Chains A and B, each alone.
Chain A
Amino acid sequence: SQQGEEDPQALSIQEGENATMNCSYKTSINNLQWYRQNSGRGLVHLILIRSNEREKHSGRLRVTLDTSKKSSSLLITASRAADTASYFCATAPPIISSGSARQLTFGSGTQLTVLP
């Protein structure tokens, strides 16, 4: 089952505008990650925010996390046509069952289209 659910499912904006995507999840997490997927390609890791963090920045990306509401948002400022892609949130559980990796559960994604 999918842990994260992105909102909206699709977003279309003009180049230069800001794009905001939201993610809601159901259970406790250790961290939440955002990924980008260009058409026909693999997912690319963008940013990771831990459960004890509230906000994180990376270039034109700003991620917020509200664990009380079990939600996160990804803001892309000054969007470009090259930002056109699907964006996924993924959650990592708080308990490692075995080994050092935390298995990620991905949401259904937001399709962002930036019009030139």
Chain B
Amino acid sequence: DAGVIQSPRHEVTEMGQEVTLRCKPISGHNSLFWYRQTMMRGLELLIYFNNNVPIDDSGMPEDRFSAKMPNASFSTLKIQPSEPRDSAVYFCASSLGDGGYTFGSGTRLTVV
């Protein structure tokens, strides 16, 4: 398995633009998590899905953020409109049952 695949690796966009981050979890994993990492706030859980259903989105900072998981092999995190304070590294992770998470390599987002 190629692991959790995220795209793009880097994204630079202008304030106000829509940004879509993508994630392909490990085949067979039934849970998917979106985290955001910044120097100031560390790793923050944004939302997680179990069997493609959103379970907890209390970490989503604002209505500008939305996430979908249309099927077991794909998820998106969308920010519309983007703001400079959204600049961070966004990680997707997947897991099966109660075990450890497998993280993707992350998307480094810069909003200018």
A residues touching B (Cβ–Cβ < 8 Å)? 2, 30-31, 33, 35, 41-45, 48, 88, 92, 97-109
Contacts and interface: CB of A to CB of B under 8 A. Distances in A.
A101 B97 contact: yes
A74 to B, nearest CB: 14
B30 A101 contact: yes
Contact of B101 (A45, A100, A105): A45
Contacts of B97: 100-101
Nearest to B33: A103
A102 B48 CA distance: 10
A97 B56 CA distance: 9
- Secondary structure at the A interface, as helix, strand, loop or mixed, is loop
A97 to B, nearest CB: 7
B112 interface: no
A88 B50 contact: no
A98 B57 CA distance: 13
A45 B50 contact: no
B52 to A, nearest CB: 11
B95 interface: yes
A52 B52 CA distance: 31
22 contacts: A2-B42, A35-B101, A41-B105, A41-B106, A42-B4, A42-B103, A42-B106, A43-B91, A43-B93, A43-B101, A97-B56, A98-B50, A100-B50, A101-B30, A101-B33, A101-B97, A103-B33, A103-B45, A103-B56, A104-B45, A106-B35, A108-B42
3 pairs of A and B residues whose beta carbons are closest in the complex: A99-B50, A101-B31, A45-B100
Contacts of A33: 100-101
Contacts of A88: 43
A31 B97 CA distance: 13
A97 B50 CA distance: 11
B53 A99 contact: yes
Nearest to B104: A42
Contacts of B45: 103-105
A91 B95 CA distance: 15
